[in-house]
Chains A and B, each alone.
Chain A
Amino acid sequence: MAILEIRNVTRRFGNLKAVDDVSLSIEAGEFFTLLGPSGCGKTTLLRMIAGFDEPDQGALFLEGRPLAGIPPEKRPVHTVFQSYALFPHMSVAQNIAFPLRMAGKDEDEIRRRLKETLELVHLSDKAQHFPHELSGGQKQRVALARGLINKPRLLLLDEPLGALDAKLREQMEGELIALQREVGITFVFVTHSQQEALALSHRIAVMNEGRIEQVDRPEQIYGYPKNRFVADFIGTINLLPVEVCEATHGHLRLAVAGLGEIIAPALAGVKAGERGMFALRPEQVRVSARHEAQELHNHYHGKVRDYLYLGDVTVYKVELDNGVLLEALLANSAPGRAKFFEIGDTLGVGWRHDSGVYLRD
């Protein structure tokens, strides 16, 4: 049974539907991420789970019991706020022990759990410090420890890594994954960073303008985006407008304006004659010196218009002979790929017939 069930929840602010008919079912022990651009309603949804806001329509169920009317302090749900919201007049130990005191635990248990939790987040030597004496990463860990110590059924995290610099964020990502695995508490994580979502989550719900666009495992979201928004929002992707010529069980034949016909993986329910987009990841595009990509079914010629050297990889903007622009990504360490193409070089461009995905409009 799902630990949290969100059923057709809508929340309006005036004319704006901040959350629009959202249904989700989150499993126990899951690291679940709400991913979407700023303003798409992630925080609003999280606040309804925490109890700071109530839906206008629909209902939420925690372990099968309706949450309506239960105030935040009575919900076994804790939140890690983006600003951390540590109590400035309390030491690290007092901050972390706060939920246990609120739950009326006895001193022995508080002492024992505090010690365990401080060790869990590597803060044992900071127990007597005050929040203003801590670095960003340490504050972050205090906030996490405080949210976890009383073993809530759900831990909500609202962009908890947003205030950290890149290096620290990467380190905290690793710690978050390890922590969640260790304590086994269900995490509902909110972020606008697709990279964070892909790295951390068991499952991701992609949100846009209050609606859920797709819920899936990270590799499915990345590899098989359901629609143009998801494809565009997650990573970079080449999008070509196409018309379906033939749809069989094995493959699709798609007509691309100016390019002719291409072969793409089959998709259930697609009919010949409909229009849509063909989406292809830059790393699926193979570029090579002219005439080398001939064995691929979808192959063309093009010229390097521009490139972006990123160290480990280089992204080439290639213009095909008929004017279509494609981005192709090349790992710089790959054998035989160490040589960079220069702007103006002529290339062979191709991709496997089972690469890419057809998106209906």
Chain B
Amino acid sequence: MTDFSTDSATRPHESGRDSRVTQWLVSLPPTLFLLVFFLAPALIMLVASFQYPGEFGGLAPLFIDGQANLSLETYRFFFSDLIYAEIFLRSFLVAAATTLICLILAYPLALTIAHSPKRHRDLLVLLVILPFASNFLIRIYAWIILLGPANLLYTPFAVIAGMVYVHLPFMILPLYTNLEKHDPALLEAAQDLGAGAWTRFWRVTFPLSLPGIWSGTALVFIPVLGMFAIPELLGGTGDILIGNLIKEQFLDNRDWPLGSTLSLLLTLAVLLLAGFSAWAGRTRRRLA
């Protein structure tokens, strides 16, 4: 026993420096990419949210006559009208509903693919991602054609149906990737020790698939929050979401500062939610 642990403990030391340098070199390009194209825009947006809008769109200068030309106007605006809070709340509800429906639809499908014979699995996964082969807008227009005659177009139902349809593969794939790796011996062991089919699922398959559920949830929930095309094409006037609001500020109202503020607040809300669920997950595990 002990010779194993000392063996594996010494090995990283021998080639430690070399491998750490290599690791740095390999991870440098993606790190730089993220810094430049994620962090920098976020900072620019943060600054923009305190600026005044320019006369013909864009932003007013940061300094006028050596004086900082900044204000809290956009934040005051946001918090002074309940309509923004309502749109935020509605967006989170639509995202939550979409995620939940995707999860419920995706789980049995992912399980079926994971349990089908090995030679069929790749084909089934291909079928899941096949819709991506045709243009996103065309697929949404197809829904307009489908929902129109049924009198369901421009309703919240249409929005959620479209959201679920577009995001379902993002739930199926991480779930399948997780479920496919489960050791079938665990289910046999559970059955051998007295667990019926239902108990086997809730005691073994489900808890082991939680990482897949979390990845899928993140991949569906967050894009849905920012989505504007679907509510615009399938939803009614009362169905606009944060995404539409933000898009409006940049493209229609030419109010970049307000658009930046909305984007920032959305990012903040998502980060808070993610932090909270991570904290809740840890606490639950500690209590279990």
Contacts and interface: CB of A to CB of B under 8 A. Distances in A.
Interface of A: 50, 52, 71-73, 77-79, 81, 83, 85-89, 98-99, 102-103, 135-137, 146-147, 150, 168
Given A73-B195, A137-B1, A87 B185 contact: no
Contact of B193 (A71, A83, A98, A137): A98
Given A73-B196, A78-B193, A85-B183, A52 B188 contact: yes
Interface of B: 1, 4, 183, 185-186, 188-196, 199, 203-204, 207-208
Given A85-B185, A87-B186, A89-B207, A168 B192 contact: no
Given A83-B183, A85-B186, A146-B193, 13 more contacts: A72-B192, A73-B191, A73-B194, A78-B192, A78-B193, A85-B185, A87-B189, A87-B190, A87-B203, A87-B204, A89-B207, A102-B195, A137-B1
Contacts of B185: 81, 83, 85
Interface centre among B4, B183, B189 (most CB of A within 10 A): B189
B208 A88 contact: yes
Contacts of A89: 207-208
A88 B195 CA distance: 17
B189 A85 contact: yes
A102 B199 contact: yes
Contacts of B203: 87, 98
Contacts, number: 59
Contacts of A73: 191-196
A98 B195 CA distance: 9
Contacts of A135: 1, 4
Contacts of B208: 88-89
Contacts of A99: 193-194
Nearest to B186: A85
A282 to B, nearest CB: 34
Nearest to B187: A85
A72 B194 CA distance: 7
Contacts of B195: 73, 98, 102
A83 B186 CA distance: 10
A72 B191 contact: yes
22 contacts: A72-B191, A72-B192, A73-B191, A73-B192, A73-B194, A73-B195, A77-B192, A78-B192, A78-B193, A79-B192, A81-B189, A85-B183, A85-B185, A88-B186, A89-B207, A89-B208, A98-B193, A99-B194, A102-B193, A135-B1, A135-B4, A146-B193
B188 A85 contact: yes
A50 B192 contact: yes
A99 to B, nearest CB: 4
Contacts of A150: 193-194
Contacts of A50: 192
A304 to B, nearest CB: 38
Contacts of B191: 52, 71-73
B207 A98 contact: no
Contacts of A85: 183, 185-186, 188-189
B48 to A, nearest CB: 45
A93 B129 CA distance: 42
A321 B189 CA distance: 59
Nearest to A91: B288
A170 B107 CA distance: 45
Nearest to A76: B194
Nearest to B185: A85
Nearest to B204: A87
Nearest to A99: B193
A109 B210 CA distance: 31
B77 to A, nearest CB: 48
